[in-house]
């Protein structure tokens, strides 16, 4: 199996594309929340539509990214044929989806609650169709070990989005009196958010010119597609259920709290949980590097031990990120507009749910490597049922806080199921006691920041920083053998 150094180096580059890219994108959240009032429900509309978009993207790619990795790494397989088959299949499905949405835009918009604004749905349907097509192209870059082009295209999309958004929200209002700005209307800010996304997504597609030239219709193989679909259909169900675990609260909340109240609460909740998305960035960066890493080295005798250690390090670093966010929440709260901050108590719950989601992803490879992907679908369905049940029962009573607790409970169930079933089907020597010890320590230290809450913000920040340093010291002590090896290597290089 490729060593952990390769995983780390790729994670850094993929992480830069995710973390730097999304960080720049998250800088737009203050722009939105300081210029779109919570009471208008406008940010709730954005949150709701993007939740649908994320779910649709999973459906339109139907697990073909993982399937592409699986078949491209099989002995005797022609990678070009696998690529053309995967891209052709996803592209065809995306085209049919887009055609159906355009033909039935009225009923679709009305069903989603946007009969007065079908342009929102029309724009995002085009975006999700292009994104699905790009998913296979990005997967090819990952397969070929080309993280820098991956990085460049992701960053290009974000930078273009940031520049256009800043112009619309910060510059355009002051230039609206100019003749060439007659198209601008501040009341259409929500629409402009979707249109900017559409324009930038289309532009990035041009960056795949070289990869698209390698697509050959003659390489599209129906027999191969049948094999791939047999492998991928459980992944589709797994993906739908897994993504629904992430988006269900944002889709269900307007249904469970009908009318303007639902959109207002969703906007407030959606803005606050953006603070927790640092965990999603780390998880995504790890996944981009980890998936081809595991599939490419599945024949290595030490693969299980490597997976176990990688999972431990993932938990260690995500817990540090959790403490970093919660220890400085007094400062980070200004990331969003003042009328959105009432949902800040949901942030630690959502962050812990994201950690559990990452652990679940790490535990999921036993059924992917064994070709028993239907197990993932079963476990994720159970977890999703827990999440939906909590939302349906408690959202009408306690509002968006039920969304946060539902996600935590759903992923918790998935982690337990995947671990205990996986240890029977594909035992991996995970250091469970160590992982649980680090999690308990992080939660205790977080509780200390809540219970000890000086009135002075500087005293609070000082105390919270101390708690975070205690965690770092404990981890360094617990991993002292690794730290010692690193120091010895550094000393040896200097000599």
On the question of pLDDT at 348 being above 80, the answer is: yes
User: What rounded mean pLDDT belongs to the chain?
Assistant: 84
* The pTM of the whole model exceeds 0.95: no
On the question of pLDDT at 118 being above 70, the answer is: yes
User: What is the reported pLDDT for 302?
Assistant: 53
Give the DSSP letter string of 292-339: HHHHHTTT-TTHHHHHHHHHHHHHHHHHHHHHHHHHTHHHHGGGS-GG
Q: What does the pLDDT look like over 429-467, one tens digit per residue?
A: 888 999 999 999 999 999 999 999 888 999 999 999 999
Average pLDDT over residues 64-83: 80
Cβ atoms of 245 and 387 within 8 Å: the answer is yes
Average pLDDT over residues 397-407: 91
Give the DSSP letter string of 457-470: HHHHHHHHHHHHHH
Q: Which residue has the higher pLDDT, 274 or 433?
A: 433
Residue 453 has which token pair? 């809450």
Q: Which residue has the higher pLDDT, 166 or 282?
A: 166
Q: Which residues contact 488 (CB under 8 A, 6 or more apart)?
A: none
CA–CA separation, 339 and 91 (whole Å): 42
Q: What does the pLDDT look like over 199-232, one tens digit per residue?
A: 999 999 998 888 888 788 777 888 888 888 888 8
User: What is the reported pLDDT for 287?
Assistant: 59
User: What is the reported pLDDT for 311?
Assistant: 84
Q: What does the pLDDT look like over 140-188, one tens digit per residue?
A: 888 777 778 888 888 888 889 989 999 999 999 989 888 888 888 888 8
Distance set, CA 485 to CA 424, 471, 492 (Å)? 33, 21, 10
Cβ atoms of 14 and 155 within 8 Å: the answer is no
């Amino acid at each position: 199996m490729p060593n952990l150094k390769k995983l780390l180096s790729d994670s850094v580059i993929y992480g830069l594309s995710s973390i730097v890219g999304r960080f720049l994108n998250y800088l737009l959240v203050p722009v939105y929340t300081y210029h779109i009032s919570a009471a208008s429900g406008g940010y709730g509309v954005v949150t709701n539509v993007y939740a649908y978009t994320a779910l649709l993207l999973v459906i339109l790619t139907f697990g073909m990214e993982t399937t592409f990795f699986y078949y491209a790494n099989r002995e005797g397989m022609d990678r070009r044929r696998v690529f053309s088959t995967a891209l052709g299949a996803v592209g065809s499905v995306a085209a049919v989806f887009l055609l159906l949405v355009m033909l039935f835009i009225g009923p679709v918009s009305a069903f989603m609650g946007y009969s007065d604004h079908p342009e929102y749905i029309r724009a995002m349907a085009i975006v999700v169709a292009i994104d699905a097509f790009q998913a296979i192209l990005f997967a090819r870059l990952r397969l070929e070990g080309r993280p820098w082009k991956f990085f460049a295209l992701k960053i290009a999309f974000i930078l273009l989005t940031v520049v256009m958004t800043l112009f619309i929200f910060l510059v355009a209002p002051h230039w609206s009196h100019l003749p060439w700005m007659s198209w601008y209307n501040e009341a259409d800010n929500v629409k402009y958010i979707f249109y900017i996304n559409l324009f930038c997504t289309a532009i990035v597609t041009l960056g795949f010119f070289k990869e698209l030239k390698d697509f050959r219709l003659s390489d599209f193989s129906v027999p191969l597609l049948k094999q791939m679909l047999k492998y991928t259909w459980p992944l589709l169900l797994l993906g739908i259920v897994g993504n629904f675990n992430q988006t269900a609260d944002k889709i269900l909340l307007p249904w469970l709290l009908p009318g303007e109240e639902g959109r207002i609460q969703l906007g407030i909740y959606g803005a606050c949980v953006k603070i927790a998305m640092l965990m999603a960035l780390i998880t995504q960066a790890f996944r981009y590097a980890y998936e081809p890493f595991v599939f490419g080295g599945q024949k290595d005798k030490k693969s299980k031990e490597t997976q176990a250690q990688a999972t431990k390090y993932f938990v260690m670093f995500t817990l540090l990120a959790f403490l970093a966010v919660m220890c400085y929440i007094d400062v980070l709260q200004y990331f969003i507009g003042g009328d959105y901050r009432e949902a800040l108590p949901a942030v630690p719950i959502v962050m812990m749910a994201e950690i559990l989601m990452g652990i679940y992803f790490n535990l999921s490879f036993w059924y992917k490597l064994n070709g028993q992907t239907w197990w993932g679908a079963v476990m994720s369905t159970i977890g999703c049922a827990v999440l939906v049940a909590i939302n349906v029962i408690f959202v009408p009573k306690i509002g968006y806080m039920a969304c946060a607790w539902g996600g935590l409970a759903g992923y918790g169930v998935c982690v337990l199921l995947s671990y205990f079933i996986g240890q029977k089907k594909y035992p991996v020597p995970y250091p469970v006691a160590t992982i649980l010890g680090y999690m308990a320590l992080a939660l205790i230290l977080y509780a200390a920041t809540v219970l000890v809450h000086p009135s002075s913000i500087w005293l609070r920040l000082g105390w919270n920083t101390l708690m975070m340093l205690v965690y770092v010291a404990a981890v360094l002590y617990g991993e002292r053998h690794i730290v010692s090896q690193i120091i010895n290597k550094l000393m040896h290089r200097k000599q």
